[in-house]
Amino acid sequence: MPDDLELSKGGAPQQKPRGDDDVLTTAQGAPIADNQNWLSAGPRGPQLLEDHIAREKIFHFDHERIPERVVHARGYGIHGHFELKKAIPEYSSAAIFNEVGEKTPTFTRFSTVAGNKGSPDLARDVRGFATKFYTKQGNWDLVGNNIPVFFIQDAIKFPDLIHSAKPAPDRGFPQAQTAHDNFWDFVSLSPESMHMIMWIMSDRAIPRSFRFMEGFGVHTFRLVNAKGEAKFVKFHWKPKQGLQSVIWNEALKINGMDPDFHRRDMWDSVEAGDFPQWDLGIQMFDEAFAESFEFDVLDATKIIPEEQVPVEIIGTLTLDANVDNFFAETEQVAFCTQNIVPGIDFSEDPLLQGRNFSYLDTQLKRLGSPNFTHIPINAPKCPVHNFHQDGHMAMTNPKGRANYEPNSWSGDMDDNREPRGPRASAERGFTSYEAPVAGPKVRVRSETFADHYSQARQFYISQTPVEQTHMGNALVFELSKVERMDIRKRMVGHLRNIDDGLAKVVADGIGMTEMPPAATPARQPITDLPESPALSILKNGPDSFKGRKLGIYIAEGGDADMVRALQEAAKSAGAMVEIVAPHVAGAKLSDGKMMAADQKIDGGPSVVYDAVALVMDEAAARNFGEDKPSSDFVSDAFAHSKFIAYVPEAMALLEGAGVAKRMDDGFIELSKPAAAKDFIARCAKLRFWDREAVKKD
């Protein structure tokens, strides 16, 4: 028996605790020379399936959990359709891109990445944004995220990344968090993660709603036209509702109050007929641009700024139907990056190529059969013809005698022979773009992937001061949960290569007495990349209050005309309204009539609303000025920089919440019903961010 094994109680060999000097091996015990790079045909060539080390690693990772997804377990799905607004036959022969006005059925699933099915919606995390298009040529899956880059460049590192972010194996926590040693240990040893770190430490990682976030295909793909000509493409989803996120303190309180906040928001929006929409945009570029671009277009840790290659809008996704059964649809839907149709093709992006292998393998484990395409939510809506047969849960099998191809059975039924079945078609079938491939079999990372800091810096300097402050606060919070000082120092060393001011803020925030040296970069960063306004949420905010939610806190004696004016103004702007009251039965207003409440005050805190209004008489305001849920309703709205409207009689509640002496231009006095329209117009800006600057000063 090998020295590193010992018998368990059951008599089976069991590994001893791993030591720092042990050589990494495969599951078969073969020592591994390189655990960082998938075997490829040349430094920038496609990955090779003969790489038994990478395949074993991904294979084992894909089969770690049942039946929950290993990643993206916490998800929510919606039916809809995609309507083409601009045909692009010059770029792609795909039918979905060639007939203006055609509507293609879709199913979209949003999700967090790291948490399990029971984790809260507003964890700081990447959000999955995966759409299945049921096209005339088969299913196309655009499996993306709300962030356009990723942590790693090569798929062989995916198990390590996710293991580091998931609960530690010895203690089983933390859940749906990256604020712990394992995650920051991994990324601090992986400089390629630094660009992604900037994104997840930004407000992008805590969106207000699925409806208010962008989506990205992440990878570089190819579009191929009928002549066989190809161009590179990146896919973008642009929300028609505009961008919006919450702040961290707000996210924590929402999770405590309603861990299903994102799900509930989407369900309510669709049920109310306020259907979320996204424009699909493409960034098209050729080999010449790829050669001249500062970074490698095959590197999934990089973006192509929209200022360099504009996003061309070609169609609109509308989500307009909630599922009938969560398990049958949202849980059983299977997305695979390999699901493409003629006219769309892959690039040699090593992370994409690894995903193409991993996703199909994952479905076998999760759904239990290669026949997962027979499940209605996964089944194409176009004709399907093949010779696949049998297997668990087979719903259809080939008819007749021929279950193989080629066969010589005739299609002429008069001679008592059976139909021959489908055949491949060179004219209609999928053909891969003939990209030249040559190179030695190597296990290396291309030198063109070596710049890990330049775009991280570009992202940071493209944010507004408010957003930069949030990023610094997020890094301080996360690293304050890291116990090991060497990990903290490594991270601050990386930050010094991104922005020395940010590094100083973080170092001060976690109590470092002296700054660690900057990390040694693999390639010298480019420090003069221009700002990219498209990367900021606040620079791309909405111009109306449409799709948002107003919370009106009413109590006894409140002005009935004012409440109605607020409701009408909000609804005219396309916003939703909820009435909050001390009791769920509601309150009797100035007209002597009871107005029913949608929420009781301790079940409808201000964190779930985009703006709030206070309508009550003086006696009620004095009475609830010392009521904790009531004062929290106001003080939280103030702390989260929300617009607050109030009738003069409600001043005692503002005093009880401790904000009366700090009132600013984010407060709007409702002296008469006509002021309601002015208030809703002000709410188009969503937050009064000047308040944060004052608090900081």
Whole-number mean pLDDT of the chain? 92
- The active-site residue, picked from 35, 52, 60, 72, is 72
- What would the mean pLDDT of 629-633 be, rounded to a whole number? 97
429 is a domain residue? no
Q: Is the pLDDT of residue 8 over 80?
A: no
| 428 burial via Cβ count (<10 Å: 0-12, 13-18, 19+) | exposed
117 is a domain residue? yes
Q: Is the pLDDT of residue 128 over 90?
A: yes
Q: Which two tokens stand for residue 68?
A: 């929950």
Q: Which two tokens stand for residue 467?
A: 């957003």
| pLDDT reported for residue 417 | 54
| pLDDT reported for residue 401 | 83
- CATH number of domain containing 655: 3.40.50.880
299 shares a domain with 156: yes
To which residue do tokens 């460049």 refer? 153
**Structural domain of 681:** 546-696
Q: Which of 231, 209, 210, 229 is nearest to 220 (CA)?
A: 231
564 shares a domain with 498: no
CA–CA dist 72, 570 (Å, integer):
35
| pLDDT reported for residue 396 | 86
| pLDDT reported for residue 246 | 98
pTM for the full predicted model: 0.91
590 shares a domain with 498: no
- What would the mean pLDDT of 445-473 be, rounded to a whole number? 98
Active site residue 494: no
CA–CA dist 129, 275 (Å, integer):
17
Q: Which two tokens stand for residue 445?
A: 């990372």
| pLDDT reported for residue 9 | 38
575 shares a domain with 488: no
> Is residue 16 very low, low, confident or very high in pLDDT (cuts 50, 70, 90)?
low
245 shares a domain with 120: yes
Q: Which of 404, 406, 405, 402 is nearest to 417 (CA)?
A: 402
582 shares a domain with 671: yes
688 shares a domain with 651: yes
The full DSSP string for 168-185 is PTTT----S---SHHHHH
33 is a domain residue? no
Q: Is the bond into 67 cis (omega within 30 degrees of 0)? A: yes
605 is a domain residue? yes
Q: Is the pLDDT of residue 499 over 50?
A: yes
Q: Is the pLDDT of residue 14 over 50?
A: no
293 shares a domain with 367: yes
Q: Is the pLDDT of residue 13 over 50?
A: no
| pLDDT reported for residue 370 | 86
295 is a domain residue? yes
272 shares a domain with 250: yes
**Residues 141/279, Cβ–Cβ less than 8 Å:** no
| Integer-rounded Cα radius of gyration of the chain | 28
User: Where does a domain end: 484, 505, 538?
Assistant: 538
Q: Which two tokens stand for residue 601?
A: 């005050």
87 shares a domain with 230: yes
| 593 burial via Cβ count (<10 Å: 0-12, 13-18, 19+) | exposed
Total domains in the chain come to 3
| pLDDT tens profile 135-184 | 999 999 999 999 999 999 999 999 999 999 999 999 999 999 999 999 99
Helix or strand or coil: residue 161? helix
250 is a domain residue? yes
Q: Is the pLDDT of residue 528 over 60?
A: yes
Among the ranges given (125-139, 318-332, 334-348, 413-427), the one the predictor scored with the smallest mean pLDDT: 413-427
Highest mean pLDDT among 403-407, 408-412, 568-572: 568-572
232 shares a domain with 351: yes
CA atoms within 13 A on the CB side of 610: 28
| pLDDT reported for residue 3 | 46
Q: Which two tokens stand for residue 678?
A: 């002015």
**Residues 594/563, Cβ–Cβ less than 8 Å:** no
Q: Where are the beta strands (DSSP E) in 582-686?
A: 587-588, 594-595, 599-600, 611-615, 644-646, 667-669
- CATH number of domain containing 155: 2.40.180.10
109-139 b/e (C-beta count within 10 Å ≥ 16 → b): bbbbbbbeeebbbbbbbbbbbbbbbbbebbb
494 shares a domain with 641: no
Q: Which two tokens stand for residue 51?
A: 């790489």
| pLDDT tens profile 277-295 | 999 999 999 999 999 999 9
| pLDDT reported for residue 411 | 55
354 is a domain residue? yes
| pLDDT tens profile 348-404 | 999 999 999 999 888 888 998 888 899 999 999 988 888 888 888 888 888 888 888
Q: Is the pLDDT of residue 421 over 80?
A: no
Q: Is the pLDDT of residue 11 over 70?
A: no
- What would the mean pLDDT of 492-519 be, rounded to a whole number? 97
> Is residue 22 very low, low, confident or very high in pLDDT (cuts 50, 70, 90)?
confident
- The active-site residue, picked from 37, 63, 81, 145, is 145
9 is a domain residue? no
The type of residue at 28 is Q
- CATH number of domain containing 472: 1.20.1370.20
454-468 b/e (C-beta count within 10 Å ≥ 16 → b): bbbbbbbbbbeebbb
CA–CA dist 666, 685 (Å, integer):
10
Q: Is the pLDDT of residue 420 over 70?
A: no
User: Where does a domain end: 538, 570, 590?
Assistant: 538
Active site residue 72: yes
User: Where does a domain end: 488, 515, 538?
Assistant: 538
- What would the mean pLDDT of 320-346 be, rounded to a whole number? 94
CA 696 to the chain's CA centroid:
30
